[in-house]
Amino acid sequence: MNECEHARRLSAYHDGEVTGAEREALESHLAQCPACAAELARLRRLSNLLTQAERAEMPAGVLDRLHRSADDLAAADLRRVAKAFLTAAASILLICGIWLWQANGAAEPAEAIPVWESLAAHQQVLADGSEERLAQWIIQDLERKNGHE
């Protein structure tokens, strides 16, 4: 076992992951340290040996199943989006319905109090005893209503 303090960086050096000044320092060290030089050589032999590991070929059936799964994922996503859209649309319709219902309930303006029903007019009639004026007001009010219809 290589006990040199630089040994721990040999793995990264072997992978080309040491750069700049540190790389130069390691290369200088390797020229002077037989233990590290031997370990670097073993790392290279190990990498070469590992290339002989089994590498599985993907069977065609696996790829077919993966593509079917991709279609299923897309279809499920469409259903989810459609459901969310319908839920949102239903919510909007419900809110509009409630708003319209409430708006219709308040749509008709409060019918104007006929002049002759107002307290002021009543007091006026009492004051001048003018029933004729009262009759005129009633007629005007009825004419106004007939004009709306």
Partner 1 sequence: MTEESGQVEPADVMLLERARNGDVSAFHDLVDRHAARLFRTAVSLLGNASDAEDVLQETLAGAFRGLRAFQGLASVKTWLTGILVRQVAMHRRRAGRQEARLIRLQAIEPVPPDVPAATGRVDTRLDVTAAIRSLASDHRDVIVLRELEGLSYDEMAEALGVPRGTVESRLFRARRRLQELLKGYLD
Residues interacting with partner 1, by CB under 8 A?
1, 8, 11-12, 15, 17, 42-43, 45-47, 49-59, 62-63, 65-67, 69-71, 73-74, 77
Q: Which is nearer to partner 1, 57 or 108 (CB)?
A: 57
CB of 81 to partner 1, least distance (A): 9
Query: What are the φ/ψ torsions at residue 51 (nearest 5 degrees)?
Result: -65, -15
CB of 104 to partner 1, least distance (A): 41
Q: Which is nearer to partner 1, 17 or 24 (CB)?
A: 17
Nearest-angstrom CA–CA distance, 13 and 18: 5
Nearest-angstrom CA–CA distance, 39 and 11: 9
C-alpha dihedral sign at 34, 40, 41, 43: positive
Can you point out the beta strands (E) in the chain? none
Q: Which is nearer to partner 1, 70 or 98 (CB)?
A: 70
